[in-house]
Amino acid sequence: MTTEDIENLLEKFYNAQTTTAEEVALKRYFQSQDIPEALQADKQLFVQLYADAPEEPQGLEARIARNIDGWNMVEKHSNRRARTVSLRWMAGMAASVVVLLTLGTYLNNRDSTARPIATDVETYDNPKDAAGETERALTKFSIAINKGLDKINNTETTD
């Protein structure tokens, strides 16, 4: 192959337009010893791209096995912790439900036995007395409301 052919193939290679056969031809060309100076950088690229896989470092398999064992221990520990947390959560929820049921039952039974609820009990025999007492209570309430409103209005005007 001529240098022009190689340069054309390199241009196609860098544009990702080469076929597998053309890439094999480039690989073979750059494995040879007589390459022009202008293509030395491309030779280094192809040597790196198509270099054989490096040898496996010594003890790699043992280190990987130790790491996997360590990861399994961490996973087992986290599973136990998650299970403990979920059991505590469920026990807390069950205790809360028991407390609420007990409190509800106690309050329900206490109110029914403590005092009977009076229904339709008249406090005044005379309707005029009832109206007078109601008017007195409403007047007392109105005076208290007016005092509160006066205090609010005074603080707004002084600010």
SS (H, E, C) 101-121: HHHHHHHHHHHHHHCCCCCCC
Is the pLDDT reported for residue 142 higher than 90?
yes
- Look-up of token digits 């025999």: 125
Handedness of CA 147, 150, 155, 156 (dihedral sign): positive
Instruction: Outline where the chain has alpha helix (H).
Output: 3-14, 20-31, 40-49, 60-114, 127-158
Mean pLDDT of all residues in 116-123: 63
How far CA 124 is from CA of 63, 94, 136, 138, in Å, comes to: 96, 51, 15, 17
Whole-number pLDDT of residue 156:
66
pLDDT of residue 140: 95
Q: What is the pLDDT of residue 124?
A: 79
- The C-alpha atoms of residue 57 and residue 55 are separated, in whole angstroms, by 6
The answer to whether the CB of 42 falls within 8 A of the CB of 10 is: yes
Domain boundaries, the chain: 3-49
Model confidence pLDDT, tens digit, residues 52-106:
656 667 788 888 888 887 777 766 666 666 667 778 888 889 999 999 999 988 8
| Amino acid in the structure at residue 3 | T
Are residues 29 and 6 in contact, defined by beta-carbon separation less than 8 angstroms? yes
CB 27 within 8 A of CB 50: yes
What is the structure's pLDDT at 94? 92
What's the rounded mean pLDDT across residues 139-148? Answer: 92
Confidence of residue 158 (pLDDT cuts 50, 70, 90): low
The answer, as to whether pTM is greater than 0.85, is: no
